[in-house]
Amino acid sequence: MITFLFAASVVLVTLLLIIELWQESALPRHKFGLHFFVTQVWDPIAGQFGALPFIYGTLITATVSLVIAVPLGIGAAIFLAELAPARLSDALEFFIDLLAAVPSVIYGLLGVFIVVPLMRDYVQPALKNTLGFLPLFSGPAYGIGFLTAGIVLAIMVIPYIISVSREVLMSVPRDQREAALGLGSTRWESTWNVVVPFARTGIMGSIFLALARALGETMAVTMVIGNTPTISASLFSPGYSIAAVIANEFTEATGDLYLQALIELGLVLFLLTFLLNGLARLLIVMTSQRGSGTAHA
């Protein structure tokens, strides 16, 4: 029965976490209501708190990261599951797993000293010269900003997409491939028109998992996003994200309203990742039940 108490404590702690976040954010919830999410003035001195710039920054950086990570990750997963010999596939998967274990502050460190200078001196000027007519790639090149944060996030979430997609792809029954090849498809046609659609829901699941990671990521983003609450169409512009503002301002928050506004941001982040994780797990379970093999979310 002791074991029951320990198991129950897990449930208890989780409930406590939700209650704590809800109660500790009561002040701004009553004072601002839904305006909290649509106003963009963040002025602790005047007691005005609008979360829009942070929500915008979080969504933009996560979007940029997925645009880069999804094609790369799925491509690599297809190679590992369909093409590589089992030995090579397992060896590469081992390295991918190690990559997933690298702590985010290390990605931040590399972001600050490698990605930021690279972006400022080469990538951003090049993008500006070729695609500068788009509002996305205009404005001065600081190096820090939405685009850089998105790229660092992409590097971080690629291992997750690869691992889960690989497992889902490998759980697609062999006969599906053989049937396609038997009908005269090329290797790629069998992969792209048969295997990938079969594993579609599971791959979507891996993407949601990656999205949840990207939204909640703190350290790496805080170190390269620029920490300025702006809403700008340009990806070069410095910005801010929900997790970053909590990390930077929590210890300095004076007054209950300020602190609780930050906790409400934490609540928003929690709910977002909660929804995405639930959706991801559902999708992955759905595919692995259709296939013959098993995949773990």
- Range list of H helices, 132-186: 146-170, 174-182
User: Residue 34 class from Cβ within 10 Å (0-12 exposed, 13-18 middle, 19+ buried)?
Assistant: exposed
Closest CA to 76 of 154, 151, 163, 152: 163
| C-alpha span between 218 and 284 (Å, rounded) | 26
Q: Is 86 in the site for another protein (CB under 8 A)?
A: no
Rounded distance, CA 36 to CA 29, Å?
8
Considering the rule CB under 8 A, would residue 175 count as an interface residue with another protein? no
Q: Which of 59, 84, 231, 285 binds another protein (CB under 8 A)?
A: 84
How far apart are CB 133 and another protein at their closest, in Å? 28
Binding-site member from 51, 119, 162, 180 for another protein (CB under 8 A): 162
Is residue 68 involved in binding another protein (CB under 8 A)?
A: no
Residue 263 interacting with another protein (CB under 8 A): yes
Asked if 217 touches another protein (CB under 8 A), the answer is yes
26 in contact with another protein (CB under 8 A): no
What DSSP designation does 137 have?
G
**Nearer Cβ to another protein (130/186):** 186
Least CB distance from residue 193 to another protein, whole Å?
A: 11
Residue 28 touching another protein (CB under 8 A): no
277 binds another protein (CB under 8 A): yes
In the complex, minimum distance from the CB of residue 194 to another protein, in angstroms, rounded to a whole number? 13
Neighbouring residues of 165: CB distance < 8 A, sequence distance ≥ 6: 73, 74, 77, 78, 81, 199, 202, 203, 206
- Which of the residues 219 through 238 are near another protein (CB under 8 A)? 219, 223
If binding means CB under 8 A, how many residues of this protein chain bind another protein? 79
127, 154, 157: which is closest to 235 by C-alpha? 127
Q: Kindly report the CA angle at 113 between 108 and 116, in degrees rounded to 5?
A: 85
Q: Does 21 bind another protein (CB under 8 A)?
A: yes
Among 22, 31, 35, 79, binds another protein (CB under 8 A): 79
The four Cα atoms 244, 248, 254, 260 give a dihedral, to 10 degrees, of: 20
Say which residues have a Cβ less than 8 Å from residue 38's Cβ, sequence separation at least 6.
50, 52
Q: In the window 238-257, what residues touch another protein (CB under 8 A)?
A: 243, 246-247, 250-251
Select 139 or 162, whichever has its Cβ closest to another protein.
Answer: 162
Residue 240 is classified by DSSP as: -
Out of 112, 118, 231, 285, point to the residue binding another protein (CB under 8 A).
112
Task: Name which of 80 and 153 has its Cβ closer to another protein.
Answer: 80
Task: Specify whether the backbone of 189 is left (phi greater than 0), alpha (psi in -120 to 50) or beta.
Answer: alpha
- Smallest gap from Cβ 92 to another protein, in A, equals 6
Which CB, 132 or 266, lies closer to another protein?
266
- Decide if residue 99 touches another protein (CB under 8 A): yes
Cα separation, 250 vs 59, in Å, equals: 21
284 sits near another protein (criterion: CB under 8 A): no
Choice from 41, 67, 98, 233 touching another protein (CB under 8 A): 98
3-class state of residue 193 by DSSP = helix
Cβ distance to another protein smaller for residue 141 or 196: 196
Q: Is 117 helix (H, G, I), strand (E, B) or coil?
A: helix
Residue 15, beta-bridge partner list: none
